[in-house]
Amino acid sequence: IEDTICKYFVICQGNSPSQVLAIVDSVKEYVRKTTGHKVYGMDGVRNAQWVAMDYGDVLVHVFLPEMRDFYNLEHLWADAKLTSLPDID
């Protein structure tokens, strides 16, 4: 989508605040190890219901399920190409 704040949105969820924080830590470690980049900014860690991570051209959102349903970010980007990945159990 032209003229947006980033090129990619990554949206995922954890089933508890501790799982949300574990996903956030995993994303930070993976990105740092594979690209050498560190997160520019991050918000929401305190309550871990919705954590937003800014990597410049990539914004990562990690939600609790009820927060993801309420804010429905996928709908805001409805005209963008959507790629779904299967759940990892």
The arithmetic mean of pLDDT across residues 53-68, rounded, is 96
Among the residue ranges 2-6, 19-23, 33-37, 55-59, the one predicted with the least confidence is 2-6
pLDDT at 49: 98
Whole-number percent of the chain with pLDDT over 70: 93
Surface-to-core class of residue 77, CB atoms within 10 Å of its CB (0-12 exposed, 13-18 middle, 19+ buried): middle
In a domain, 16, yes or no: yes
**pTM of the full structure:** 0.87
In a domain, 83, yes or no: no
Domain limits for position 31: 8-75
Three-state DSSP class for residue 8: strand
Q: How far is residue 4's CA from residue 81's CA, in Å, rounded to a whole number?
A: 14
Domain count, the chain: 1
pLDDT at 89: 58
Residues 6+ away with beta carbon under 8 Å from 75: none
In a domain, 50, yes or no: yes
Look at residue 44 and tell me whether its pLDDT is greater than 70.
yes
Of 64, 36, 70, 34, residue with least CA distance to 51: 64
Look at residue 1 and tell me whether its pLDDT is greater than 90.
no
In a domain, 89, yes or no: no
In a domain, 23, yes or no: yes
pLDDT at 86: 77
Element at 51 (helix H, strand E): strand 50-54
